[in-house]
Amino acid sequence: MKEILKYKNCFVCGDENRCGLKVKFFEEKKVAKAEYVVDQRFEGYKNVLHGGIISTLLDEVMIKAVLAKDLLAVTAQIEVKFKKPVMVGEKLFMEGRVKEKKGRIFLAEGKIINQDGVLVALGSAKYVAATEKMKELLEGSLK
């Protein structure tokens, strides 16, 4: 597996963001993959992971699938379906893949499964290929 490009200060994948999740993303057979153990800092209700963090994790694993193709894009639309609550301390397994490309649009899907093999969330998203000006900005972030 090959680690996917990241920005060192990204909230999700940045290893230098003190407040961030510090998730490492890898590409294997055109699928972006990651693992994350739920930290209590990100609970919504007591001992339950905040839904915004679940949405963030799905967005990141799906955009990483685009990045794994050496393509720069930005999120245009995302839909998240919450299936089961995620508890503090649970280990999560994420996968994201590009399903289709339509011109400058990439359609992706993602899922999060917990340590017991239970599907906890599904995501689908549209990503738009970066314009030349946006590419310059994004390329300055990635390593």
What pLDDT sits at residue 137?
85
Q: What is the pLDDT of residue 50?
A: 98
* Neighbour order of strands in the sheet with 119-129: 2-3, 25-28, 31-37, 91-102, 105-114, 119-129, 73-82
Q: pTM score, two decimals? A: 0.95
Range 2-134 classified under CATH 3.60.40.10: no
Q: In the prediction, which pLDDT does 139 show?
A: 83
pLDDT tens for the chain, 143 residues long, are 899 989 999 999 999 999 999 999 999 999 999 999 999 999 999 999 999 999 999 999 999 999 999 899 999 999 999 999 999 999 999 999 999 999 999 999 999 999 999 999 999 999 999 999 998 888 887 76
